[in-house]
Amino acid sequence: MAKFSTERILAGIVENDRIVIQFVYDKYFASIKSYVLKHGGNDNDAWDVFQDSLMIVYEQAQSGNLTLKSTFITYFYSICKYRWLKQLRDRAPNQHEEFEYKNEVELFGYNKYTAEIDEAIEQEERVRLYQENFLKLSKECQELFKLLAKGLTTKEITKELNYKSTGFTYKKRRLCKEQLLRRIKENNDKLKL
């Protein structure tokens, strides 16, 4: 099995390099699975934690805000553990686990990453929440938001969507935004946007 440096692994994840990603799965999944199983999870939980954590690493590395002062596995393992312990806490908020999740992170020496991990997980949850609710909008609202995301002006959107006036476009944009925010609020009792 080939070995990769931390920098090469991060670059490979961002570039969606099959060989690097397969290396990460082959090299690290068993230890993550073992941890999740040992702490009350099952195979599906382990898979979900691994996948979610890999997406967090991808998003952080792609943003260019990730600077590791440790090996990839140290960082990745801390994300996986933190992610799993957060899921346990969310599943049974009134039950006390053997380790309070933040104390366990500190016990294993990963506390310097806690804020970064928290931020990445919250950002990922916000993105998922937005995407889920975006797909529930009408096709017209979805198209309007896609054109806005492309950077089109209100005048260009009016023409593209065959609206009668820019005033109508502003009104439609406001209504679609209100609808999206209402859906997000209704489906979200944990995150504050």
10-residue mean pLDDT profile of the chain (193 residues): values are 80 89 90 88 92 89 77 85 84 54 48 57 72 88 89 90 92 91 73 44
In single-letter form, the type of residue at position 19 comes to I
pLDDT at site 191: 46
Tokens of 105: 């992170």
pLDDT at site 109: 45
* Euclidean distance between CA atoms 12 and 68, whole angstroms: 15
Question: Contact, 79 vs 53, CB < 8 A?
Answer: yes
* Euclidean distance between CA atoms 111 and 81, whole angstroms: 12
pLDDT at site 133: 86
* Euclidean distance between CA atoms 189 and 126, whole angstroms: 12
pLDDT at site 93: 59
